[in-house]
Amino acid sequence: MEDDKFKIAKEDLEDLEIYIKEFSDFLPLAVCSVNPVGVIINVNKAAEDLTKYASLELVGEPMSALFSDKNKVEEIEKEIANKGSVHGRELILVAKDKKEIPMSVSASMRKDTEGNYIGYFIGLTNITELKKFQEGLEVKVKERTKELEDSKKSLIKTLDDVKEARENAEEEKNKTLSIITNFTDGLLVFDKGGKLSLINPQAETFLQVKSKDVIEKSILDLKTIPVFGSIVKIFNEKAKRAAKQELSFGTSLILEGSAVPIVRREKKIGTLIILHNITREKSIERMKSDFVSLTAHQLRTPLSGIKWALKLLLKGDFGETTKEQKKFAEEMSRSTEKMISLIGNLLDITKIEEGRYIFEKVSSDMEKVILSAVSLYKKEIENKKFKFKFKKPKNGARVKMDAEKIKLAVDNLLDNAIKYTKPGGRLELELSCGIKEVEFKIKDSGMGIPKNQQERVFNKFFRGDNIMKIQTEGTGLGLFITKNIIEAHGGKIWFKSEEGRGTTFYFTLPI
């Protein structure tokens, strides 16, 4: 009978050890286990991805070999041995590809049951992006070990009969909880039944709750707590594998919440919600938008005055002008128009970032909107002798939309297709209507987009290298604005492109 109990308990602990190992590999934080002499004995998947080394390449190597300043690593190891842990130390990690990556390093001492020092866990966080916004920022993590010690005591009491197996499981659990406790992002773990099983100290700070007040509560119970309203919305998101949402708690705290399913043996066993503090980034974006908006408004008025003055000058309202004077005036007029267009784009971006770009949506004829945009380029299409074709649906296509903005989106796509396609090329438009959405396609035989730059196509100010070599004019804002217009209507936009052979842009809008 005692043997059966021992066997069952041992099997349970083995499952727990596997679970903890899988959970450790699942976490986005890179973690290494190091022995007392500073040699790596274990790494998780995130550490392999970060360093570009395989696990077998890292195990057996000194921890200091991964960093540019080996003396600092030795100092950290001494401090771990003396004090038990270190937090938020900045080091430069040298990856396998020789790339130097700024890191925030946190470590915690490992002890056996007799209190002997057996090494340490070290967590590595890539702070490259953070460095861009806040130079010299020191990552501070508050040490929280009370829950860990309580869990340890409880585990010791229940597993006295399987001491050796319990110690192995305890070591893995300590590693995972140490990572979670010291994680700079807030973490909430829900089991498969929707009950909150874990909340780390940073999440408690963000949400201003205590773990004892929310642990073991179901998602429905948490919904009654105001601060959990947005968390529940993320939890209930089923459409995507990893749902993200911005959570605002006034102007003093803005978080980005991500919900990721926890999968074991191809079965969902829970949900991990990660809360990342983006308050500083949003504050910088807001200041940038305010500056751009103010500057653009201040420039638009005098430029408009210059535009009309030049128009009157060219009309001869100020007297006859020489050919040379007229030439200079025309160049000034074109430059002024470009500046006014750029300012308009900057103001559009400001409105997009403030969420007030799309106005009232009304049912409109999509075909008429497209033809209205095409009419602006009719002369240019004829001059460049394009093989132009527009395929339309038989019964038309009506969409609830802000027609002016959709026309601008089509205009931006047309402008790029015409501008970057040589004379005599092809330009094909197609509008199709489905049950739930309409799809618009514009295909050209132009220069195409380099494959290594296609991920950046919808970024602000992006212009392809092949375009920059032959044409310096352009702001790189058109596709960014177009993408935001389509997505604000609940649609999707994408493209296919091959450099030297042309590009096809697609977008859909719900009916």
Torsion of CA 185, 191, 195, 198, to 10 degrees: -40
**pLDDT for residue 243 is more than 60:** no
CA distance 78 to 324: 78
> Which pLDDT score, from 0 to 100, does residue 251 have?
63
Average pLDDT, the chain: 81
Amino acid at 363: S
CA 402 distance to own-chain centroid: 28
User: What is the number of alpha carbons within 13 Å of residue 119 lying toward its C-beta?
Assistant: 16
Q: Which residues contact 288 (CB under 8 A, 6 or more apart)?
A: none
CATH of domain 181-278: 3.30.450.20
Listed in order, strand segments (DSSP E) in 112-242 are 117-126, 186-191, 196-199
Q: With beta carbons less than 8 A apart as the criterion, state whether 73 and 63 touch.
A: yes
Q: What is the mean pLDDT of residues 399-421?
A: 91
Using pLDDT thresholds of 50, 70 and 90, give the confidence band for residue 494: very high
Q: Give the predicted TM-score (pTM) of the model.
A: 0.44
Question: Which residue from 161, 192, 195 is spatially nearest to 267, judged by alpha carbons?
Answer: 192
Using pLDDT thresholds of 50, 70 and 90, give the confidence band for residue 361: confident
Q: What is the mean pLDDT of residues 171-184?
A: 73
Q: Which residues contact 37 (CB under 8 A, 6 or more apart)?
A: none
CA distance 388 to 392: 13
**pLDDT for residue 25 is more than 80:** no
Say if strands 117-126 and 186-191 run parallel, antiparallel, or are unpaired: unpaired
Using pLDDT thresholds of 50, 70 and 90, give the confidence band for residue 87: very high
> Which pLDDT score, from 0 to 100, does residue 182 have?
77
Residue 116, SS3? Answer: coil
Tokens of 408: 């601008």
pLDDT of 38-75, one tens digit each? 999 999 999 999 999 998 999 999 999 999 999 999 99
The 10 Å Cβ neighbour count of residue 160 is 8
**pLDDT for residue 13 is more than 90:** no
Whether 1-128 and 181-278 share one fold: the answer is yes
> Residue 437 phi/psi, 5° resolution?
-155, 160
CA distance 383 to 194: 64
> Which pLDDT score, from 0 to 100, does residue 421 have?
92
Q: What is the mean pLDDT of residues 500-508?
A: 94
Level-2 CATH architecture, domain 1-128? 2-Layer Sandwich (3.30)
What percent of the chain is modeled with pLDDT above 90? Answer: 35
Using pLDDT thresholds of 50, 70 and 90, give the confidence band for residue 2: low
Cα 123-127-130 angle, rounded to 5 deg:
145
Using pLDDT thresholds of 50, 70 and 90, give the confidence band for residue 325: confident
Q: With beta carbons less than 8 A apart as the criterion, state whether 286 and 271 touch.
A: no
- DSSP state, 67? B
pLDDT of 119-169, one tens digit each? 999 999 998 887 777 665 444 545 556 665 666 677 677 766 666 666 666
Question: Which residue from 128, 140, 108 is spatially nearest to 33, judged by alpha carbons?
Answer: 108
Tokens of 306: 């210059």
The 3-class SS string of 2-43 reads HHHHHHHHHHHHHHHHHHHHHHHHHCCCEEEEECCCCEEEEE
For the domain made up of 362-510, the CATH class stated in words is: alpha beta
Per-residue burial over 34-65, b if 16 or more Cβ lie within 10 Å, else e, is: beeebebebbbebbbebbebeeeebeeeebbe
Burial of 279 (0-12, 13-18, 19+ CB in 10 A): middle
Domain ranges of the chain: 1-128, 181-278, 282-354, 362-510
Cα 108-113-116 angle, rounded to 5 deg:
60
> Residue 366 phi/psi, 5° resolution?
-65, -35
CA distance 256 to 277: 6
Q: With beta carbons less than 8 A apart as the criterion, state whether 339 and 466 touch.
A: no
In the beta sheet, which residues pair with residue 259?
Answer: 243, 273
Using pLDDT thresholds of 50, 70 and 90, give the confidence band for residue 237: low
pLDDT of 441-472, one tens digit each? 999 999 999 999 999 898 887 777 777 666 65
Identity of the highest mean pLDDT range in 135-149, 166-180, 312-326? 312-326
